[in-house]
Amino acid sequence: MGSTERQLGDERDWREAAISTVSLARVLPAILASVPAEDHEVAARTLVVPLVRARDADLAEVMGTQMPAAFAFLVVEGVVLKETSLEGRTALELLGPGDVLAPPLTAVRQLDSRAVSRYLAHGVVSLAAIEARFRRSARRWPGIGDFLHDRLGRQTHRASMNLAMLHLPRTEDRVIALFSDLGERFGRVTPDGVVIDLRLSHEVIGGLVGGRRSTVTIALNRLAANGLLERIGDQRWKLARGIVSA
């Protein structure tokens, strides 16, 4: 079998296995704290939702076509980039496990907005589709809805923090602020520093910190020379200890 045939076969296998199910109690065990102890077992069964997988793709088709009834999606595994475009400029926000995605705007609503956003799967991602069954569970156990709103509140605060980061004058400072946040969310402490397993190109980092790719490259070289931030291979970064407590 040729490489093209193998690639097409892999793609078919991927699409055929695109949808399964997962319990939100497994994805977010803390959600069970919103349910009486005697109901934990039944809640874990009730909170089973569709699990959608995608790889390096615009997620609009996955959300709108495969799960049109979902009113939100929860990132289970992987990284999603939220890309917002306005007047020919784009900004990125990096979302990971536990973050909530709203469904894409309809074509009509997009016409009413000067800025247009889309979600991009950065590598392989799994999304839990939040739909009618979750609403029924939230009516039975109101704390579940409060739990989801709390996560949204934390996510909104982080987006505001990232907005403030963009006002830091030096690119190096913005890059360090970004990786400090990523270290807290994705990092693991080692004797040499905080290791962050993320595949991030200089272009993507530029979109996250509001800088040009060339400027980001210079900033990264300076940070590496000062022992503050080092790239290890293609999918790993090491942040100096003391900058973040992961």
The domains found in the chain, sorted by start residue, are: 3-165 (2.60.120.10), 171-239 (1.10.10.10)
The neighbouring-strand residues paired with 90 are: 85
- The structure tokens listed for 23 are 């319990």
pLDDT in tens, 210-240: 999 999 999 999 999 999 999 998 789 999 9
Residues 6+ apart with CB under 8 A from 136: 46
Could you tell me the CA-to-CA distances from 228 to 94, 165, 203, 219, 223 in Å, in that order?
A: 21, 18, 20, 11, 5
Q: How confident is the model at residue 17 (pLDDT cuts 50, 70, 90)?
A: very low
Q: Is the pLDDT of residue 5 over 80?
A: no
Distance in angstroms (rounded) separating the CA atoms of residues 206 and 90: 10
Name the burial class of residue 152, with classes exposed (0-12), middle (13-18) and buried (19+) by CB atoms within 10 angstroms of its CB: middle
Across the range 180-187, mean pLDDT stands at: 94
Q: What is the helix (H) or strand (E) element at residue 204, kind and residue range?
A: helix 202-209
Distance in angstroms (rounded) separating the CA atoms of residues 230 and 202: 13
* Cα atoms in the Cβ-side hemisphere of radius 13 Å centred on 59: 33
